[in-house]
Structure 1
Amino acid sequence: MTDDHTHVQEFFGARAAGWDARFPDDGPAYAAAVADMGLRPGDAVLDAGCGTGRALPALREAVGAAGFVVGADLTPEMLAAAVRAGRHRDAQLVLADAARLPVLSQSLDGVFAAGLIAHLPRPDEGARELARVVKPGGLLALFHPIGRAALAARQGRRLTDDDLRGEGRLRPLLAAAGWRLTSYTDEPGRFLALAVRQD
């Protein structure tokens, strides 16, 4: 495991137990983002970097009982928090690196990823890996419950033009990985970039 991965695990591992309590009002934003993905009953979907599993109930509702939901996260403590919250009932939870997923190529209809892209040591490789596991025409949702400027302010940093989630950087990064950006929203209360897997 690289030092980058160790840092991510340490950061989220130390915060896992109180994560949901820090952000108690995010549930509706997650549900709205999942709804905007356009998943269908029976679809197979991955929550990449699922953390405490806040998107898993909405993903299960979107794909129904016949669908398949898997939540993958690099941090054991986050997955344990998901289990404590009962969200393991909505998905199969897997300890895995989003840049090296234990998932067959072109086996999924969609990937939901909340806050993931900024935590990938090599975002270009991560975006390619997410594309690998999704069928052509499949869906990607990159989400955060607050916009880029609000997140930067929360973290005490300035928003710069080279921000990875800025449309000017994100669109070509996704295109190089096999995705076509179809929708981009960056508002104070929401960040959501939707993309489709190219053939």
Structure 2
Amino acid sequence: MSDRHTHVQEFFGTRAAGWDDRFPDDGPAYAAAVAGLGLREGDRVLDAGCGTGRALTPLRAAVGPSGVVVGVDLTPAMLEAAVRAGRDRDGRLVLADVTALPLRSGSLDAVFGAGLVAHLPRPAENLRELARVVRPGGILALFHPIGRAALAARQGRRITPEDLRAEPNLRPLLAGAGWLMTSYVDEDARFLAVAVRED
């Protein structure tokens, strides 16, 4: 396991138990983001880096009982917290690395990733792996329940021009990985970039 992976596991592992308590008001933001993706009954969707599974319930509501919802995370403690919250009823939880997914190529209709980009060790390569598991025309939603400026202020830092989530950086990054960005929202209440898997 790389140093980056070890760091991610340690960071989230020590915070998993109280994660949902730290951000108790994020539920509606997750639900609104998922509702805007145009998912259909029966769709197959991955929550990449699912953490405590806050997106699983709205994803299940969007794809219905005939759909498939899979949550993948690298940190066992996060998945354990998802189970304690009962979110394993809404999707299958898998301990795995989003940089090397145990999924067939083209097997999904959509990928949802909350707070994901900042934790990818090799973003260009890792976004290509997400493209691999999605059918042509499928979607990728990169979400955060708080915008870039508000998040930076919360963390006591400034946004830098190098921020991968800045539109001028994210659009070509996605394009190089096989995704065409179709919408980009960065406001205090949420960050949501949506892209379509190109042929």
Report the TM-score when normalising by structure 1: 0.99
After superposition, what is the alpha-carbon deviation per residue over 1:179-198, rounded to whole angstroms, capped at 9, x for unaligned?
Answer: 00000000011100000000
Amino acid of the structure 1 residue aligned with 2:15: R
Q: Is the Cα–Cα contact under 8 Å of residues 37 and 140 in structure 1 kept in the other structure?
A: no
User: Which residue of structure 1 aligns with residue 54 of structure 2?
Assistant: 54
CA RMSD of aligned residues (A): 0.5
Aligned to 2:128: 128
Q: Please name the residue that 2:68 is paired with.
A: 68
Q: Distance in 2 between matches of 1:33 and 1:99?
A: 23
Counterpart position of 1:119:
119
Q: Deviations over 1:162-184 (max 9, x none)?
A: 11000000000000000000000
Residue type at the aligned position of 2:141: A
User: Any residues of structure 2 matched to 1:88-99 within 5 Å, and which?
Assistant: 88-99=88-99
Q: What percent identity do the matched residue pairs reach?
A: 76
Letter in 2 for 1:102: P
Cα drift, residue 161 of structure 1: 1.1
Q: Distance in 2 between matches of 1:163 and 1:153?
A: 14
Aligned pair count reads 199
1:39 Cα deviation (Å)? 0.6
Mean Cα deviation higher: 24-33 or 151-160: 151-160
Cα distance in 1 between the residues matched to 2:145 and 2:193: 12
2:58 & 2:171 partners in 1: Cα distance? 26
SS in 1 for 2:78: helix
Gaps of 5+ in 1: none
- State the 4+ residue runs in structure 1 displaced beyond 2 angstroms: none
Q: TM-score, normalised by structure 2?
A: 0.99
- Separation in structure 1 between the aligned mates of residue 180 and residue 36 of structure 2, nearest angstrom: 16
Q: Matched residues in 1 for 2:125 and 2:37: separation?
A: 23
